[in-house]
Amino acid sequence: MENPLTPEVLADPVGLTRALVDIESVSLAEKAIADCVEEVLRAVPHLTTFRHGNTVMARTDLGRAQRVVLAGHLDTVPLNDNFPSTMRGDLMYGCGTSDMKSGVAFALHLAVTLPDPRYDVTYFFYEAEEIESKYNGLTLVSEAHPEWLEADFAVLLEPTYGIVEAGCQGTMRAILTTHGERAHAARSWHGVNAIHGAGEVLRRLGAYQARRVTIDGCDYREGLNAVRINGGVAGNVIPDRCEIEINYRYAPDRDPEAAEAHLREVFDGFELRVTDAAAGAAPGLDSPAAQEFLAAVGAAPIGKLGWTDVARFAAMGIPALNFGPGDPNLAHHKDEHVELTKIRDGAATLHRWLSPLDRPLA
Please give the positions annotated as active site. Answer: 75, 129
Q: How far is the CB of 309 from Zn ion (least distance, A)?
A: 9
254/268 Cα distance (integer angstroms): 19
DSSP state of 98: I
CB 248 within 8 A of CB 171: yes
179/272 Cα distance (integer angstroms): 12
For Zn ion, the closer of residues 10 and 100 by Cβ is: 100
H-helix or E-strand spanning residue 337: strand 337-339
Burial of 273 (0-12, 13-18, 19+ CB in 10 A): exposed
Q: How far is the CB of 99 from Zn ion (least distance, A)?
A: 4
Q: How far is the CB of 129 from Zn ion (least distance, A)?
A: 6
85/92 Cα distance (integer angstroms): 7
Taking each helix axis as running N to C, give the angle between helix 102-113 and helix 31-42, from 0 to 180 degrees, rounded to the nearest 10: 20
For Zn ion, the closer of residues 158 and 222 by Cβ is: 158
Site string for Zn ion, 140-159 (x = CB under 5 A): ------------------x-
Binding residue (CB under 5 A) for Zn ion from 56, 58, 100, 246: 100
Q: Does 165 bind Zn ion (CB under 5 A)?
A: no
CB 344 within 8 A of CB 14: yes
Q: With CB under 5 A as the contact rule, which of the stretches 96-104, 186-194, 205-213, 218-226 interacts with Zn ion? A: 96-104
Q: How far is the CB of 157 from Zn ion (least distance, A)?
A: 9
Q: With CB under 5 A as the contact rule, which of the stretches 93-101, 111-119, 161-169, 179-187 interacts with Zn ion? A: 93-101
For Zn ion, the closer of residues 152 and 309 by Cβ is: 309
Taking each helix axis as running N to C, give the angle between helix 340-354 and helix 288-297, from 0 to 180 degrees, rounded to the nearest 10: 140
Q: How far is the CB of 33 from Zn ion (least distance, A)?
A: 14
236/186 Cα distance (integer angstroms): 8
Q: Does 127 bind Zn ion (CB under 5 A)?
A: no
For Zn ion, the closer of residues 99 and 292 by Cβ is: 99
Q: How far is the CB of 213 from Zn ion (least distance, A)?
A: 25
For Zn ion, the closer of residues 27 and 177 by Cβ is: 27
200/203 Cα distance (integer angstroms): 5
CB 252 within 8 A of CB 245: no
> Cα–Cα distances in Å, from 217 out to 93, 303, 320, 323?
34, 8, 15, 17
Q: Which residues contact 7 (CB under 8 A, 6 or more apart)?
A: none
For Zn ion, the closer of residues 21 and 224 by Cβ is: 21
What is the total count of residues that contact Zn ion (CB under 5 A)? Answer: 3
H-helix or E-strand spanning residue 243: strand 241-250
Binding residue (CB under 5 A) for Zn ion from 75, 99, 165, 327: 99
Site for Zn ion in 289-348 (CB under 5 A): none
Q: How far is the CB of 101 from Zn ion (least distance, A)?
A: 10
For Zn ion, the closer of residues 99 and 152 by Cβ is: 99
Rule CB under 5 A: which residues touch Zn ion? 99-100, 158
